[in-house]
């Protein structure tokens, strides 16, 4: 109840600090007899792993995952799955000088006010390193969802530069270091981020996640709406400041007849002529693609000196010299995918509990 768990039937709890011996996640509520192995999880962790291009932090974590429980003879047993990732490249000394200073944009101040104590090394528990555990949990969620449901993420904006949605090509996201579906924009972002990094600054971003093949009927009405849970899931990722579904904030400017997605029959099935709903009506999936977007603020750890205060109430200057991502939005793509997978897996089980066909 102190906030380190996510989900109801498919429920995971993460633990571990950025510079402790290890981080990990225990996943409970996994149905039995699902094939699962360490490589099934590792492939998603590798996607998130730092140090893969000059646009992400140079911290070198192998992020090798070990399954400590819940899997026997290659399949899940229905018992909790503990996934452990050792921390191997901590440089805690980097953080000594900021132990008592509240870095602007970071959780230093609010953790201090809440707990009166904090593991200041690398942000401790507030570090984005925690998201590796989310990605591991997401890999288990995908095992539940099965191959008929695909979840793909793309970076759709860096700084003031959104992609051209007309140029969207899912193939392109594998071919540039940004998971960008617009190949031309990816080149422009590279230049932009180089300039940002040289300036000792950082950039924000927006990510879009699309889930295809989701059956109609997932989501519980009222407070456990599928979009409500997705909003919470994505908003809890480090640095996220906004979440929208389908037409999102754009819907505010639409008229009723523009916004409502009309239905037709095609080959004996209901089809929609548009998807302003983002695949969700009344909190319940319609069978259309589920489309969510979230905004990530620029990395708060920047070389540019800023002014702040310390725990003793002195006004001080601070510049963050550790190894940081100039745009945390890039590595947020696999994290967003994982959180969407976890929400869907949970609601799949919940729907089945009440007799729903899946």
Site for a copy of itself in 143-162 (CB under 8 A): 157-160
Burial class (CB in 10 A: 0-12, 13-18, 19+), 160: exposed
Among 170, 187, 221, 321, interactor with a copy of itself by CB under 8 A: 221
Among 130, 182, 289, 337, interactor with a copy of itself by CB under 8 A: 130
Region near a copy of itself per CB under 8 A, out of 52-60, 166-174, 183-191, 307-315: 307-315
> Closest distance between a copy of itself and the C-beta of residue 193, in Å?
11
Residue pair 20/80 in contact by the 8 Å Cβ criterion = no
> Which CB atom, from 59 or from 103, has the smaller least distance to a copy of itself?
103
> Closest distance between a copy of itself and the C-beta of residue 24, in Å?
7
The bridge status of strand 81-86 relative to strand 75-76 is unpaired
Among 38, 94, 216, 275, interactor with a copy of itself by CB under 8 A: 216
> Closest distance between a copy of itself and the C-beta of residue 323, in Å?
15
Residues in CB range of 117: below 8 A, 6 or more apart: none
Residue from 345, 330, 355 nearest 27 by CA: 345
What pairs with residue 12 in β-bridges? 6, 27
Does 2 bind a copy of itself (CB under 8 A)? Our answer is yes
Does 31 bind a copy of itself (CB under 8 A)? Our answer is yes
Please give the angle made by the CA atoms of 221, 227 and 233, to the nearest 5 degrees.
120
Q: What is the DSSP letter of 30?
A: P
Does 39 bind a copy of itself (CB under 8 A)? Our answer is no
State which of positions 82-101 bind a copy of itself (CB under 8 A). Answer: 82
CA of 316: how far to CAs of 6, 111, 118, 196, in Å? 38, 19, 20, 25
Residue from 327, 333, 304 nearest 56 by CA: 327
> Closest distance between a copy of itself and the C-beta of residue 176, in Å?
18
Does 166 bind a copy of itself (CB under 8 A)? Our answer is no
Among 51, 80, 213, 322, interactor with a copy of itself by CB under 8 A: 80
Q: Which two tokens stand for residue 29?
A: 């509520």
- SS3 category, 222: helix
Does 314 bind a copy of itself (CB under 8 A)? Our answer is yes
- SS3 category, 245: strand
Region near a copy of itself per CB under 8 A, out of 38-46, 50-58, 182-190, 292-300: 292-300
Residue pair 216/202 in contact by the 8 Å Cβ criterion = no
Residues in CB range of 239: below 8 A, 6 or more apart: 128, 296, 297, 299, 300, 328, 329, 332
Region near a copy of itself per CB under 8 A, out of 4-12, 47-55, 146-154, 177-185: 4-12
> Which CB atom, from 124 or from 181, has the smaller least distance to a copy of itself?
124
Does 176 bind a copy of itself (CB under 8 A)? Our answer is no
> Closest distance between a copy of itself and the C-beta of residue 187, in Å?
19
Region near a copy of itself per CB under 8 A, out of 51-59, 164-172, 179-187, 246-254: 246-254
Please give the angle made by the CA atoms of 288, 234 and 252, to the nearest 5 degrees.
60
What pairs with residue 206 in β-bridges? 157, 295
Does 117 bind a copy of itself (CB under 8 A)? Our answer is yes
In the block, tokens 């392109």 appear at 172
What pairs with residue 245 in β-bridges? 292
Region near a copy of itself per CB under 8 A, out of 38-46, 80-88, 90-98, 167-175: 80-88
> Which CB atom, from 171 or from 239, has the smaller least distance to a copy of itself?
239
Q: Which two tokens stand for residue 93?
A: 């000394």
Among 48, 59, 125, 142, interactor with a copy of itself by CB under 8 A: 125
State which of positions 256-275 bind a copy of itself (CB under 8 A). Answer: 256-265, 268, 270
Region near a copy of itself per CB under 8 A, out of 52-60, 170-178, 183-191, 343-351: 343-351
Q: Which two tokens stand for residue 198?
A: 């040289």
């Amino acid at each position: 109840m102190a906030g380190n768990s996510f989900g109801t039937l498919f429920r995971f709890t993460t633990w571990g600090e950025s510079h402790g011996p290890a981080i990990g996640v225990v996943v409970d509520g996994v149905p039995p007899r699902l094939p699962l192995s360490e490589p099934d999880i590792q492939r998603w962790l590798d996607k998130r792993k730092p140090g893969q291009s000059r646009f992400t932090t140079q911290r070198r974590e192998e992020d090798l995952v070990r399954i400590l429980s819940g899997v026997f003879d290659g399949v899940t047993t229905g018992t909790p799955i503990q996934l452990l990732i050792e921390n191997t490249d901590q440089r805690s000394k980097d953080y000594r000088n900021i132990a008592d200073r509240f870095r602007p944009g970071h959780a230093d101040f609010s953790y201090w006010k809440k707990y009166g104590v904090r593991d200041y090394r690398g942000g401790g528990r507030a570090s984005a390193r925690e998201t590796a555990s989310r990605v591991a949990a997401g890999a288990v969620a995908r095992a539940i969802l099965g191959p008929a449901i695909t979840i793909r993420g793309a970076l759709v904006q860096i700084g003031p530069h959104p992609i051209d949605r007309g140029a969207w090509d899912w193939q392109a996201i594998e071919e540039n270091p940004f998971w960008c579906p617009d190949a031309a924009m990816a080149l422009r972002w590279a230049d932009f981020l180089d300039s940002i990094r040289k300036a000792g600054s950082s950039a924000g971003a927006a990510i879009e996640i699309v889930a295809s093949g989701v059956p109609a009927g997932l989501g519980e009405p009222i407070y456990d709406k599928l979009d409500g849970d997705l909003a919470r899931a994505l908003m809890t990722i480090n640095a996220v400041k906004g979440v929208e579904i389908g037409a999102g904030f754009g819907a505010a400017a639409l008229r009723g007849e523009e916004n409502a997605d009309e239905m037709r029959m095609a080959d004996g099935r209901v089809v929609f002529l548009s998807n302003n709903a983002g695949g969700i009506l009344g909190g319940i999936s319609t069978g259309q693609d589920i489309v969510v977007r979230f905004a990530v603020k620029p990395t708060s750890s920047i070389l540019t000196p800023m002014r702040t205060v310390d725990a003793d109430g002195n006004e001080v200057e601070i510049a963050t010299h550790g190894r940081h991502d100039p745009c945390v939005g890039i590595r947020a793509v696999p994290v967003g995918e994982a959180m969407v997978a976890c929400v869907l897996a949970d609601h799949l089980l919940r729907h089945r509990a009440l007799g729903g066909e899946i």
